[in-house]
């Protein structure tokens, strides 16, 4: 038995057209899974499926869905289980971030981030989890962040840190409640990576420091154990592990593919 084989498994990756989502989609497909993407913007989903097909030669499909909308998510869970027979793996890679100093943080933005980053995970877990419970098998993999464990030195991340801390505890509580149905729930927490979510942040910080983005990243990573920033590819092994039979007795855990940041953080 190949412990990391996903052959015969159907995986839905929410946020699958994003920087990390696409890398996971490719790795899951290469491990044997049939991969379905889901997010709000159809044009991005279409483009991601085409790019993934060109890269791997495999077929990818998608559903347009706002994971923060319970009605839409419930309908997609029903449709996906009808279309594919069963969904074995749910990856929650959706998320947003907006930065403001804590004392100026607009409450509607705070509420939106908490809803998009945290409540959406409960919504997808409820609706895909109900079908997993019926089959007595499922793997839920949540994408958290090192910011769920250590705050940033400068201002900006009040909502994001609160949201990711909440993702960690939601993961543990879901693991507790869904374990008896054969469903594992785990999370992994990357350090900052270059994806569409962070491109503007890196460009802004580099401008402020009077450097190129590459120079800025080299300075930032100089004190890290692995001496470099992360790429989405640094996280896909952890994601495949958490989706595979290799992790069948692991639940309620948060793993840190962060190049050692939280070891010294
Ligand atoms: N990049 C980093 O440095 C970093 C570090 C640590 C953790 N993370 C976490 O990793 C995950 C993926 O981030 P990323 O860097 O890949 O960002 P990204 O490229 O912006 O991708 C995020 C994806 O989430 C989707 N999304 C957002 N809200 C959604 C909703 N309500 N329903 C469905 N889809 C939704 C977006 O698509 P639509 O807009 O089309 O819906 C997008 O495809 C996030 O949870 C993020 O917090 C990222």
User: Which token pair is 23?
Assistant: 């890398």
In the chain, which residue ranges form alpha helices assigned H by DSSP?
Answer: 19-30, 42-56, 70-84, 107-114, 120-135, 158-178, 199-209, 213-221, 233-243, 261-264
Reading the chain (265 residues) residue by residue, the pLDDT tens digits are: 699 999 999 999 999 999 999 999 999 999 999 999 999 999 999 999 999 999 999 999 999 999 999 999 999 999 999 999 999 999 999 999 999 999 999 999 999 999 999 999 999 999 999 999 999 999 999 999 999 999 999 999 999 999 999 999 999 999 999 999 999 999 999 999 989 899 999 999 999 999 999 999 999 999 999 999 999 999 999 999 999 999 999 999 999 999 999 999 8
pTM of this structure = 0.98
Nearest-CA residue for ligand 1 atom 41 is 40
Atom of ligand 1 nearest to the CA of 197: 20
User: Which token pair is 198?
Assistant: 């962070």
CA 2–ligand 1 middle distance (angstroms) = 30
Tell me the C-alpha distance between 151 and 204, whole Å. 20
User: Which token pair is 186?
Assistant: 């785990």
List C-alpha distances in Å: 224 to 84, 139, 218, 220, 261: 43, 31, 10, 8, 6
Strands 89-92 and 138-143: parallel
CA 91–ligand 1 middle distance (angstroms) = 11
Catalytic residues: 160
**Per-residue b/e over 214-238, b at no fewer than 16 CB within 10 Å?**
eebbeebbeebeeeebbebebbbeb
Atom of ligand 1 nearest to the CA of 193: 3
What CATH superfamily classification does 10-192+231-259 receive?
Answer: NAD(P)-binding Rossmann-like Domain (3.40.50.720)
> In angstroms, how far apart are the furthest CA atoms of the chain?
56
Structural domain boundaries in the chain: 10-192+231-259, 194-229
């Amino acid at each position: 038995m190949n412990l990391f084989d996903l052959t015969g498994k159907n995986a839905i990756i929410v946020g699958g057209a994003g920087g990390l989502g696409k890398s996971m989609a490719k790795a899951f497909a290469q491990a044997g899974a049939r991969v379905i993407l889901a997010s709000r913007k159809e044009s991005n989903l279409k483009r991601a499926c085409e790019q993934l097909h060109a890269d791997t030669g495999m077929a990818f499909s998608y559903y347009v869905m706002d994971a923060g909308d319970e009605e839409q998510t419930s309908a997609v869970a029903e449709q996906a289980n009808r279309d594919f027979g069963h969904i074995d793996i749910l990856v929650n890679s959706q998320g947003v971030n907006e930065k403001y100093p804590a004392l100026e943080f607009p409450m509607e933005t705070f509420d939106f981030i908490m809803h998009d980053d945290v409540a959406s995970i409960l919504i997808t877990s409820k609706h895909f989890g109900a079908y997993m419970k019926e089959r007595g098998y499922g793997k839920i993999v949540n994408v958290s962040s090192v910011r769920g464990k250590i705050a940033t030195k400068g201002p900006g991340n009040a909502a994001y840190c609160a949201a990711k801390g909440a993702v960690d505890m939601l993961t543990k509580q879901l693991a507790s409640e869904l374990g008896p149905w054969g469903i594992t729930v785990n999370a992994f927490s990357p350090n900052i990576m270059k994806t569409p979510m962070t491109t503007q942040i890196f460009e802004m910080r580099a401008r402020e420091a009077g450097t190129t983005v590459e120079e800025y990243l080299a300075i930032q990573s100089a004190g890290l154990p692995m001496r470099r920033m992360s790429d989405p590819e640094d996280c896909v092994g952890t994601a495949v592990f958490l989706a595979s039979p290799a992790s069948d007795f692991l639940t309620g855990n948060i793993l840190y593919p962060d190049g050692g940041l939280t070891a010294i953080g």
